[in-house]
Structure 1
Amino acid sequence: MNSTLKKGIQIALSLGVAVWIFWFLYKDIDASNLWNQLQTSNWLWIGGSLVISWIGFWLRGWRWTLLISKEEGIPVDSTRSYHAVMIGYLANLLVPRAGEVARCGILTRTNGVSLGHLLGTVIIERSIDLLFLVGTILLAFLLENQLFLDLSSGLVDLSSLGEKAANNLPLVLGGAVVFFLFFYILFRRFRNHGLINKLQGFFRQIFSGVKSISQMRNPQGFWLTSVAIWVVYFLTMYFVSLAIESTANLTPGEVLLVMVMGSIGMVAPVQGGIGTFHALVAYILIQLGVSETDGKIFAAIIHGTQLVFMLILGLLSWLAMMRIPAWIKPDKV
């Protein structure tokens, strides 16, 4: 099987999974309910969420310029990096994960920055974003720990589990030691295996990415912008929650939890988080007391407005960057 056919099958499968999840979620939702919710929602809040998310896109572009070396090609300004980021989002709507290569390819074409260097900066960005996602999950747990415990107890009886563990403490401790020894030996035995190497490489990338930030020209700006980007994610979700009657009474901590679930849904390897975002956001809203129909409609509104917004901005950015002539490497003197 050639690589083009294999890639096409992967894209078709991811799109098929996304469409199936979306259909399964919304097959019982009456379209009139969605239309009524769209009519009764406060579009000033929704418009505000779009403005906030647009600021977030610009922040992503500016943060990227801090990682790009000025020694290669033409120095990249925040306008071009913003347009490249939006083209990346546009590409992700077509092919999962293609956006990272697409946005790097755009700057290689217009500014002459090497593709390898740009891909390295994207790896650093993704490593930091992963750390912030983990940090946000921990923050949501601290703010809404009782909800986490309630959700867990719905799956496992935590009180009886703790009582059994206390009554069999030596057995539990012994089992834990055997467990860690088993995985330590397994790791040592198969340390040259492809999967183990990938895991090692993954953690090395995160470590080297964090280390390299301290050596850049504006590390404080990078970290502050990274925090601001995740604040933007929260405000985008919070503004939409205020726009819809069924979610207007959610606390900031509960909205943060919804944002975390949505972020996890967007990480899934499907086009634009379609289906996975809706499923996880609707699920957590139902646990927060929102009706199933309202939870699914909320997920559809926030994802739909953001999707259309990114599509429009992505196309405008693509048109803007296509008007810039390709960079031609100057002849050596």
Structure 2
Amino acid sequence: MTKAINKSFRFFLFLFLGLTILWWLYKDQDPKKMADILKKEVNYGWIFLSLILGLFSHISRTIRWQMLIEPIEKRPGLLNTFLSVMIGYLANLAIPRMGEISRCAVLSRYEEISFSRLVGTVVTERIIDLIMLLLSLVLVIITQYNVFIDIIKNKLNLGEIGNFLSSREFYFSAILIIGIFFLFRKKIMKWKVFYKFRELWRQFKEGLFSFRNVKNKFLFVFHTVLIYVLYFLMIYVCFFGFPFTRHLSPGKGLAVFVLGSFGMVAPVQGGIGPWHFLVISTLIFFGIESSQASAFALLVHGSLNAMIIVTGLLSFLTIPLINKKPLTR
């Protein structure tokens, strides 16, 4: 019961925070003006193309995950892996970061693969994704230096985090925890739960370092790059769907994509709120009117998440059906 209450609390807390940011962003916008933009000015063919590119990015991520899993046990089926990935994306819209656990649980059940090892492969994925995001950020700094500096200086406040990490309280807490573990390490290592944890950690490391044993590293790197190229194109092709963003260069599209991605990292369902804030702020910096930038963010984010909801629900309903064991006589 307590666990269910905690999950419900997290769900509503994060949702409330995201919706509060969203309300703050749109409270001064003219609903009629935004409705006119969405009804009369948008070429929805480009939005549809964005969704197709998004679907291909999920397929590419599926293949890359298969390649990570194969060395630790066996290569799971493409369809089961894809459906698990989409269920994971759907779970992330409910509770942030729940998707990583959910897709591992689903694939473990239907492909009979160690859950701990699957979690390790997902951690590897997240590390690789972080590296790719940072490389994309470097490209933004090189191509759109003024945008990057303006947003860091005027939009983000990182001072509080820096103050905490350099505070006496942080160092005292870290030293205390390390000291307690060092003093009681022999007793801790004798605990039954420690042995269980050690076995889980062994399986986890197998998944974490699974990249070393990937059979086709070139193909793995290809899909890693392809995923982010498709992510970028998902956003950039939407520029052509709006008359006021068609003139923006690919470099500006990269800035919108990368800074919006940092909004997706925030622990809010689907990045709702933080993603809108960063995308709108970046577009305004490029000279787009506030109402136009707001309409762009609302439609693009809404359509991409609608695609996740539809495909996620279909995956959730489909995976038990295609994995029904035949009746034995």
Of 316-325 and 104-113, deviating more is 316-325
Structure 1: where are the runs of 5+ without partners?
156-181, 198-206, 329-333
Residue in 1 that maps onto 2:68: 67
1:268 paired residue among 266, 271, 282: 266
Of 3-12 and 115-124, deviating more is 3-12
C-alpha contact (below 8 Å) 1:59/1:225 kept by paired residues: yes
Residue in 1 that maps onto 2:322: 324
Residue in 2 that maps onto 1:179: none
What are the Cα deviations for residues 232-284 of structure 1, in whole angstroms up to 9, with x where unaligned? 01111111011111111111111100001110111110111111111110011
> 2:12 matched to 1:12?
yes
Residue in 1 that maps onto 2:103: 103
In the aligned structure 2, how far is the partner of 1:267 from the partner of 1:303? Answer: 14
**Alpha-carbon spacing, 1:256–1:192, altered in 2? closer, same or farther (3 Å):** farther
**Paired residues for 1:85-164 under 5 Å:** 85-150=85-150
Give the TM-score taking structure 1 as reference length. Answer: 0.79
C-alpha contact (below 8 Å) 1:128/1:210 kept by paired residues: no
In the aligned structure 2, how far is the partner of 1:270 from the partner of 1:142? Answer: 29
Give the TM-score taking structure 2 as reference length. Answer: 0.80
Amino acid aligned to 1:228? L
Residue in 2 that maps onto 1:254: 252
Residue in 2 that maps onto 1:279: 277
Residue in 2 that maps onto 1:295: 293
1:225 paired residue among 213, 223, 226: 223
Residue in 2 that maps onto 1:52: 53
**Paired residues for 1:36-51 under 5 Å:** 36-39=36-39, 40-51=41-52
C-alpha contact (below 8 Å) 1:52/1:232 kept by paired residues: yes
Amino acid aligned to 1:93? L
In the aligned structure 2, how far is the partner of 1:99 from the partner of 1:91? Answer: 5
Residue 225 of structure 1: CA displacement? 0.5
| SS, match of residue 213 in structure 2 | coil
Amino acid aligned to 1:307? N
Amino acid aligned to 1:256? L
**Alpha-carbon spacing, 1:105–1:212, altered in 2? closer, same or farther (3 Å):** closer
Residue in 1 that maps onto 2:200: none
The root-mean-square deviation of aligned C-alpha atoms, in Å, is 2.9
In the aligned structure 2, how far is the partner of 1:36 from the partner of 1:153? Answer: 34
| SS, match of residue 323 in structure 1 | helix
Residue 90 of structure 1: CA displacement? 0.8
